[in-house]
Structure 1
Amino acid sequence: MDALVTAARNGDKEAFVQLIRMNKQSLYKAAWVYLRNEQDIADALQNTILSCYENIQGLREVKYFKTWLMRILINECKDILRQKNHDTELDNFAEGVHCEELDLCEWKQLLLCLDEESRKIVELYYFDEFSVKEISALLEMNSNTVSTKLSRARAKLKEVIRR
């Protein structure tokens, strides 16, 4: 992927298109976590891709392309939420939520016991498979804070399940 990023930085449009294609599912899932509305997601993705294309020369480290791209997306999502003053309660989950003991509706209700920030961390970690370090960069938090919030969220979820 580093070679594609370098080529895109040097003006290779096809390399840029390939980078976006490689990251489209992650972009969509992250936008869904924030927006929960197809039209808003489409707007956020379009704005993100445009901003990325226009500013890719400003990317300092090629290896952080995905984190940089996701940060742009999250900022776009936050802008849309500010403009529309949306409530970011969880209505649905991204694809791929599986548990032998809980169905989707039960997962939805279970995660509602967490505060918004913890829900986002849990979704990014378990459903979108981001590492603590990546979540830390995306949410602009210290890695230790993300780890602590993830640990506390797990404990709270276990407590709720046992009831």
Structure 2
Amino acid sequence: MKKNPFELAYKKYHRELYFYALSLCRHEELAKDLVSETFYKAFLTLETPDNNIKFWLFRVLKNLFIDYQRTSKYHFSLEDYEIILDNQNQDSPLKKIIKNERDHEIYKKILSLTPNNYREIIILYYYGGLSIKEIAVTLNSNPSTIKTTLHRARKKLKRLMKEDIYEF
């Protein structure tokens, strides 16, 4: 029996999209809603998913989040993220992705990166598995700009990690 191409796309990308959504909004239920809405829009818009669907889905999710932010008065802080992470059960997708304490600390440092595009590009590149070209298309930017921003974000993240080591 032939599987539905949308079902295959969901199985392939839903975890990456969920993790990206969670990094944007830092709220588990909202992240699930954003991912659902993203696939709903894909189902309504596309006749059949193609090879470029992954970064298109990331772009749709980002736009949905921006729309949500415009209409919402509540914005999450880093402390909200920590509360959410601590209250999740062991089987939650985020607990499976962030396996150990070091990964948890790195993720917290990524979330503290400013400006926000540093955080977003790091997450899309390392956690979303998108290439520089795909990130450029997703964020409607130039690949050389993405490459430069990724380089700067890495340097800043490295500096933050070193500061953390010296605090002990």
Name the TM-score class by shorter chain: 0.7 to 0.9
Pairwise CA RMSD: 3.0
Deviation of 1:151 after TM superposition, in Å, equals 0.7
* Residue among 54, 58, 63 paired with 1:66: 54
Letter in 1 for 2:127: F
Deviation of 1:55 after TM superposition, in Å, equals 0.7
- Take 1:110 and 1:24, find their aligned partners in 2: how far apart are those partners? 21
The CA deviation string for residues 26-75 of structure 1, in whole angstroms up to 9 with x for no partner, is 1211211211112212221222122111110397xx32121222221221
Q: Structure 1 pair 23/150, CA: closer, same or farther in 2 (3 Å)?
A: same
Residues 78-87 or 132-141, more deviating:
78-87
Gaps of 5+ in 1: 1-11
- Take 1:110 and 1:33, find their aligned partners in 2: how far apart are those partners? 9
Residues 83-92 or 37-46, more deviating:
83-92
Letter in 2 for 1:28: Y
Aligned to 1:132: 132
**Residues matched between the structures, number:** 149
- Take 2:77 and 2:39, find their aligned partners in 1: how far apart are those partners? 26
The CA deviation string for residues 66-118 of structure 1, in whole angstroms up to 9 with x for no partner, is 12222212211211122214435443585545799x46236514652432111
- TM-score, normalised to structure 2, is 0.72
SS in 2 for 1:121: helix
- TM-score, normalised to structure 1, is 0.73
Alpha-carbon contact 1:27-1:45 (below 8 Å) kept: yes
Gaps of 5+ in 2: 86-93, 164-168
* Runs ≥4 residues deviating over 4 A: 92-95, 97-100
Residues 73-82 or 83-92, more deviating:
83-92
- Take 1:137 and 1:37, find their aligned partners in 2: how far apart are those partners? 26
- Take 1:162 and 1:87, find their aligned partners in 2: how far apart are those partners? 29
Alpha-carbon contact 1:89-1:116 (below 8 Å) kept: no
Of all paired residues, the percent bearing the same amino acid is 28
Alpha-carbon contact 1:97-1:127 (below 8 Å) kept: no
Q: Which has the higher contact order (CA 8 A, sep 6+)?
A: 2
Structure 1 position 76 matched with structure 2 position 69: no
